[in-house]
Amino acid sequence: MPSVMIRRNESGQMTLYVAKKDLEETVVAIEHEQADKWGGEFTLADGSAYYIEPLSAAPNLPITLRARRAGGE
């Protein structure tokens, strides 16, 4: 499972960066984005998806977390 960094870019959009692949893409959807549950499957603008174990609250960004590929790829 690679580590990924989630942050907001200059435009305020959430991005996900995978250092191992030198990939940075805009997050277009998050499975859980409620006050008491944040994470799950992150869908990126290029169509790829990563899964981050849900947290009990939305974190302060930027944050580095462990993720795995999702979406049956």
Tens-place pLDDT, residues 14-60: 999 998 889 999 999 999 999 899 999 999 999 999 999 999 999 99
Rounded CA-CA distance 61/11 in Å is: 14
Q: Is the pLDDT of residue 1 over 90?
A: no
CB within 8 Å of 23: residues ≥ 6 apart = 17
Q: 61: pLDDT confidence band, cut at 50, 70 and 90?
A: very high
User: What pTM value is reported for the model?
Assistant: 0.91
